[in-house]
Structure 1
Amino acid sequence: MFVSPLGVVSALLATTIAAAPGDSRSDLRRDAERIVAGGATGVQVRVTGEGGSMVVTAGVADVRTKSPVPPEGYFRIGSANKTFVATVVLQLAGEGELSLDDTADTWLPGLIKGHGNDGRKITVRHLLQHTSGIVDDYPFPTAIASSREYRRHRFDTYTAREVISRAMRHKPAFAPGKGWSYANTGYAVLGLIIEKVTGRTWHAEVDRRVIKPLGLKHTRWPGNSAELPRPHARGYSVFKTGEGFVDTTRHRDADASGGLISTTADLDRFFTALLGGRLLRPAQLAEMRKTVPVAKELRQIWPGARYGLGLMRRPLPCGGTYAGHGGDILGFSTRTGVTADGERSIVVSVSTERFDSAKRVLQLEAAVDRLVSRALCDARYDAR
């Protein structure tokens, strides 16, 4: 069922309750409602500070029933998954099981080759930092460009080796270490390296090394299931102007670049524990934090952004920086951040992905960015 986004947004704004000036929860909710007004169906926000966590929602969980967004709902975390994978790789480096300077061929001989791609020159560090030069040719739903393609391909599955093989049909964007280009395929390679080193799949190692030790009871790998656990907001995508919101909640995309399902509470616990030094030894956390500039086109969306080893860092308008990792996958957009001093953190889940125009994408991103910056800069957002 396709529904006009303008109709949903108008209905939501008509029911908004005016907030009292200076009320931090109301201000946060108002910022979340601006994200809905920017073209999303629903939003969950969790801000954690000195007084604990504050959670607000805006919009609807279902455009047909107009049910409210559950404040503890599950969602697909997309590329925030990369930080989980990077954490495992860095733990293995800290244990001496591998080196960041190992080449891909050290562990997966002959896998990366052809059309100028050379696994003998690409290191683990390059893969973690998107400086390998590998060009994506990704078959998963993130590459779907229309509602028709979604319906035809939403249940397709591919192995990591199949994903890598597709990328090898293309010449690299640059020589390893000589540029920056976001490559989901690089994390497919890292997933296989984890399996080669440990004898267990990447998601089994994430579960053993991260999820269980931190008690992340609502973070899970979906395997071949296309379903989301309940409760959850439905995820929607807008593929082209005039088509409206397409329900893209159900699909299969469970690989190492973006496969996990989680909640705002679990993601907040993970990122604060990681950046607080609970998951990595000091030397490995320092390596994760070493950054390079992202590509110019991404800096237009995220000014000042720099990328470490599975971790992004951005400046705050109030001074200082925050670190985290976003995720964009059919139906869901995730943004996370922890201030440099670790005193405040945020997780935002937007249950809409837009592909209809660059203007709408930038409009929605700007609304999310405003909320993140205000929440991390303003002490009033500490929960009381």
Structure 2
Amino acid sequence: MFVSHLGMAAAVLAAAITAAPGYGQGDLRRDAERIVAAGATGVQVRVTGEGGSMVATAGVADVRTKSPVPPNGYFRIGSSNKAFVATVVLQLVGEGKLSLDDTADRWLPGLIKGHGNDGRKITVRHLLQHTSGIVDDYPFPTAIASSREYRRHRYDTYTPRQVVSRAMRHRPAFAPGEGWSYANTGYAVLGLIIEKATGRPWHAEVERRVVKPLGLTHTRWPGRSAGLPRPHARGYSVFKTGEGFVDTTRHRDADASGGLISTTADLDRFFTALLGGELLRPAQLAEMRKTVPVAKELRRIWPGARYGLGLMRRPLPCGGTYSGHGGDILGFSTRTGVTAEGKRSIVVSVSTERFDSTERALRLEAAVDRLVDRALCDAG
């Protein structure tokens, strides 16, 4: 989830959801339709349990042609990408190639400095957990406020060092380790550290270490391409009331903070494998699961939410917790989760981002939360 969209997360549902078994295909379809009714153009969702997977879609893939949402469509995963980057970093830790206590300056001397920022005091752990204090000044696609800006900047690209340089114009939000603030820039730094430690770009290491071993045949780094592979729903953004849905499918950038393209099936396989211990050694998975509270303003929206190393944990209304990582990027919103015992998992892709009002954005997110909670609680 990009920081500009985190503030639009949903309030916890007022009504409690019990853990009565029986959440079925019809329930999933109806909950997906509620997301469309709340203001989305389209949604696809996959829920996996001990009996297999259920898939449902609702809405349309294209507001002009009214074509249906493909159940296996590609989409931009946004900040769900951070879990992939964190996995590679923790694999390197397990191999002894770097340490969570290494400073940013140890790998990238002089990159983080100026206006009180000091890479000699920021560790890899701080970067992974958003406790570095670095203030985001991330350019497109996270700072677009209008359809005009989108059309003007959608093909802009920025190097990770340019992204970090922008952040260095600001004083840190707090001393490293003394607070929590979501920072896409921190993951730009982690991408550079991966490259320095391995000699290959972060996305090449993700492909080698995660994508190929798990057989994620529909997960890819788009590189310079601004489009999506077929099939896909078009991604839309609503920037202001009265303007309607703006097609924001095509754009570039996001890099290590949110650049991959995938499908619900591939993301489900990734998160269940990660949390099931297939990708990390026990010591590194335990480190990933160590969490701190998110920022106060987000705790009001997500009571009990905590953040680990590239992984978020949230409580379920029926008891227990689930872990995953969501993602928001122009045109697409992704939500993922695996229950603590690993028996149920979910991936939701909504092909709409709303910026027209906080109320509408919260209403849409609340509908997504309702689906996630009901599906993971198996509440029919």
Normalising by structure 2, what TM-score?
0.93
Report how far residue 143 of structure 1 moved.
1.1
Q: Which residue of 2 aligns with 1:17?
A: none
- Cα separation, 2, equivalents of 1:218 and 1:67: 22
Aligned ranges 1:76-115 → 2 under 5 Å: 76-115=76-115
Q: Which residue of 2 aligns with 1:290?
A: 290
Aligned ranges 1:192-341 → 2 under 5 Å: 192-341=192-341
Report how far residue 111 of structure 1 moved.
0.2
The residue type paired with residue 286 of structure 1 is A
Checking the alignment, whether the CA contact within 8 Å between 1:224 and 1:254 is kept in structure 2 is no
Q: Which residue of 2 aligns with 1:148?
A: 148
Per-residue displacement from partner, 1:45-76 (whole Å, max 9, x unpaired)?
Answer: 10000111100000000001110000000000
The residue type paired with residue 370 of structure 1 is R
Aligned pair in 2 of structure 1 residues 82, 23: CA closer, same or farther (>3 Å)?
closer
- Cα separation, 1, equivalents of 2:83 and 2:23: 34
Q: Which residue of 1 aligns with 2:15?
A: none
Give aligned pairs, total. Answer: 359
Per-residue displacement from partner, 1:154-210 (whole Å, max 9, x unpaired)?
Answer: 000000000000000000000000000000000000000000000000000000000
Report how far residue 361 of structure 1 moved.
1.0
- Cα separation, 2, equivalents of 1:305 and 1:86: 19
Checking the alignment, whether the CA contact within 8 Å between 2:47 and 2:344 is kept in structure 1 is yes
Aligned residue for 2:258, secondary structure, equals coil
Point out where structure 2 has 5 or more consecutive residues left out of the alignment: 1-21
Q: Which residue of 2 aligns with 1:181?
A: 181
Per-residue displacement from partner, 1:97-131 (whole Å, max 9, x unpaired)?
Answer: 00000000000000000000000000000000000
Q: Which residue of 2 aligns with 1:167?
A: 167
Aligned residue for 2:47, secondary structure, equals strand
Aligned ranges 1:5-154 → 2 under 5 Å: 24-154=24-154
Report how far residue 254 of structure 1 moved.
4.3
- Cα separation, 1, equivalents of 2:138 and 2:379: 41
Report how far residue 96 of structure 1 moved.
0.4
Report how far residue 216 of structure 1 moved.
0.1
The residue type paired with residue 174 of structure 1 is F
Aligned residue for 1:189, secondary structure, equals helix
The residue type paired with residue 240 of structure 2 is K
- Cα separation, 1, equivalents of 2:327 and 2:136: 16
Per-residue displacement from partner, 1:315-335 (whole Å, max 9, x unpaired)?
Answer: 000100000000000000000
Aligned pair in 2 of structure 1 residues 257, 237: CA closer, same or farther (>3 Å)?
same
Point out where structure 1 has 5 or more consecutive residues left out of the alignment: 1-21
Aligned residue for 1:280, secondary structure, equals coil
- Cα separation, 1, equivalents of 2:181 and 2:241: 28
Report how far residue 23 of structure 1 moved.
7.4
Checking the alignment, whether the CA contact within 8 Å between 2:43 and 2:58 is kept in structure 1 is yes
Per-residue displacement from partner, 1:21-51 (whole Å, max 9, x unpaired)?
Answer: x772111111111111111000001000011
- Cα separation, 2, equivalents of 1:314 and 1:23: 20
Aligned residue for 2:98, secondary structure, equals coil
Per-residue displacement from partner, 1:278-336 (whole Å, max 9, x unpaired)?
Answer: 00000000000000000122223322110000000000001000000000000000000
Report how far residue 379 of structure 1 moved.
6.5
Q: Which residue of 2 aligns with 1:368?
A: 368
Aligned pair in 2 of structure 1 residues 38, 87: CA closer, same or farther (>3 Å)?
same
Q: Which residue of 1 aligns with 2:16?
A: none
Checking the alignment, whether the CA contact within 8 Å between 2:141 and 2:254 is kept in structure 1 is no
- Cα separation, 2, equivalents of 1:367 and 1:32: 8
Q: Which residue of 2 aligns with 1:352?
A: 352
The residue type paired with residue 42 of structure 1 is G
Normalising by structure 1, what TM-score?
0.92
- Cα separation, 1, equivalents of 2:351 and 2:274: 25
Checking the alignment, whether the CA contact within 8 Å between 1:100 and 1:124 is kept in structure 2 is yes
Checking the alignment, whether the CA contact within 8 Å between 2:23 and 2:378 is kept in structure 1 is no
Checking the alignment, whether the CA contact within 8 Å between 1:223 and 1:254 is kept in structure 2 is no
Checking the alignment, whether the CA contact within 8 Å between 1:301 and 1:362 is kept in structure 2 is no
The residue type paired with residue 282 of structure 2 is P
Checking the alignment, whether the CA contact within 8 Å between 1:155 and 1:226 is kept in structure 2 is yes
Aligned pair in 2 of structure 1 residues 23, 287: CA closer, same or farther (>3 Å)?
closer
Q: Which residue of 2 aligns with 1:342?
A: 342
Checking the alignment, whether the CA contact within 8 Å between 1:111 and 1:119 is kept in structure 2 is yes
- Cα separation, 1, equivalents of 2:98 and 2:368: 38
